């Protein structure tokens, strides 16, 4: 395994050429900057991969998806990645059934790969507590950043492996 080290962690880059490795690291670092700046996991993933023209709308659309839609369900990094799949491949014409099929296939592939790598798609399982429990949130606040950054990193790497940028 070949890794690139940054101040935020190590990244397995064995599947990527040099230029792709640099792109992945800069995308992950951008996402971590968004997350550290106050955006949620979904916003951090979609914001790091959205084009300049898409970014403002994408950040707004993703704003309710953090914390597993605020109830510990599907991880925000996962929903943000699915939004990226939609931005890149999604159906925007009613009779474009090929785009609909392709988006469904890519979404399923992403979700399956993420679940295999992380063991779950659920925010509460990744964090180890119910995000609606105020006491648990306070007790585990120090762990949240590490867990969420791991979720964000995994989502971005999978998207890149799938050729989605």
3-state secondary structure labels for all residues of 101-157: HHHHHHHHHHHHHHHHHHCCCEHHHHHCCCCCCHHHHHHCHHHHHHHHHHHHHHHHH
Domain count, the chain: 1
Tens digits of pLDDT across the chain (165 residues): 344 444 445 444 444 565 666 788 899 999 999 999 999 999 999 999 999 899 999 999 999 999 999 999 999 999 999 999 999 999 999 999 999 999 999 999 999 999 999 999 999 999 999 999 999 999 998 899 999 999 999 999 999 999 998
Query: 17: part of which helix (H) or strand (E)?
Result: none
What confidence score (pLDDT) does residue 5 get?
Answer: 44
Domain hosting residue 54, numbered range? 3-161
Angle at 150 between CA 1 and CA 22, to 5 degrees: 55
Q: Say if residues 145 and 34 touch (Cβ distance below 8 Å).
A: no
Beta-bridged to residue 74, according to DSSP, are: 122
Query: Measured between alpha carbons, how far is 90 from 98 in angstroms, rounded to an integer?
Result: 10
Angle at 158 between CA 8 and CA 119, to 5 degrees: 85
pTM of the model: 0.88
Which positions ≥6 away from 44 have C-beta within 8 Å?
A: 31, 32, 34, 35, 76, 77, 80, 152
């Amino acid at each position: 395994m070949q890794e690139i080290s940054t101040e935020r962690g190590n990244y397995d880059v064995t599947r990527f050429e040099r230029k792709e490795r640099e792109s992945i690291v800069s995308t992950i670092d951008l996402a971590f900057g968004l997350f550290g700046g106050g955006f949620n996991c979904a916003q951090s993933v979609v914001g790091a991969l959205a084009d300049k023209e898409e970014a403002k709308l994408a950040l707004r659309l993703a704003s309710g998806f953090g914390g597993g839609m605020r109830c510990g369900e599907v991880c925000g990094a996962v929903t943000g990645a699915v939004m990226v799949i939609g931005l890149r491949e999604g159906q925007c014409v009613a009779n474009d059934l090929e785009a609909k099929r392709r988006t469904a296939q890519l979404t399923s592939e992403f979700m399956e790969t993420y679940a295999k790598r992380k063991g779950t798609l659920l925010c509460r399982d990744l964090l180890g507590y119910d995000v609606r429990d105020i006491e648990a949130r306070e007790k585990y606040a120090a762990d949240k950043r590490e867990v969420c950054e791991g979720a964000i990193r995994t989502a971005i790497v999978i998207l890149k492996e799938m050729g989605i940028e």
